[in-house]
Amino acid sequence: MDVIYTSGGGEDGSMNRLTLSRQDGLARDWLADWFTKNGFVQQVDAIGNRFGACRSSATTPLW
């Protein structure tokens, strides 16, 4: 997740990524790409929150 901190991060380590800003769009695009590359099923809710779910059989531990 270090990559996502570079979008909207300040030199002092602070974070300021306003919703609907260019930085916010870049972060959301990065997350969508990460979900795709790692096999997650994606959903976006009515206000633009992005969720990723991984599928697994009952016999496969996730951790």
pLDDT tens by residue, 2-56: 676 666 667 777 777 777 788 888 888 999 999 999 999 999 999 888 999 987 7
Beta strands per DSSP E along 1-63:
41-44, 50-53
Amino acid 23: pLDDT: 83
Residue with tokens 């633009």: 48
- CA-to-CA distance for 10 and 13, rounded, in angstroms? 5
pTM attached to this predicted model = 0.68
Tokens of 54: 């991984």
The residue with tokens 């997650």 is 40
At 57, the pLDDT band (50, 70, 90 cuts) reads: low
pLDDT at 63 over 70: no
